[in-house]
Amino acid sequence: MKAALQLADRIKPVLSPFWLRLSRIRLDRRAVTTLEYALVAGVICVVIVHGITTAAVGMKNTFATIAAEL
């Protein structure tokens, strides 16, 4: 137990700035809003890429059918 407390005392100064920054981010609503916008933008990009890919496959099949009939 004593060794664990000594280790915690050595790690505490190192982690303290990290936890301080993390608590500032949690308190700053702008950071949270920015993160939410980034996630929404990421989802929109995935949807757009999926839609373009699906449309491209459909067009390829359509042109292949037309080419086969010619």
pLDDT confidence tier of residue 35, bands split at 50, 70 and 90: confident
Distance CA 16, CA 25 (A): 14
pLDDT at 45 over 80: yes
Distance CA 32, CA 39 (A): 11
Residue 28 gets the label, from left (phi > 0), alpha (psi -120 to 50) or beta, of: beta
**Span 16-35, average pLDDT:** 69
**Span 22-46, average pLDDT:** 81
- 1 DSSP 8-state letter: -
- Determine the pLDDT at residue 39: 93
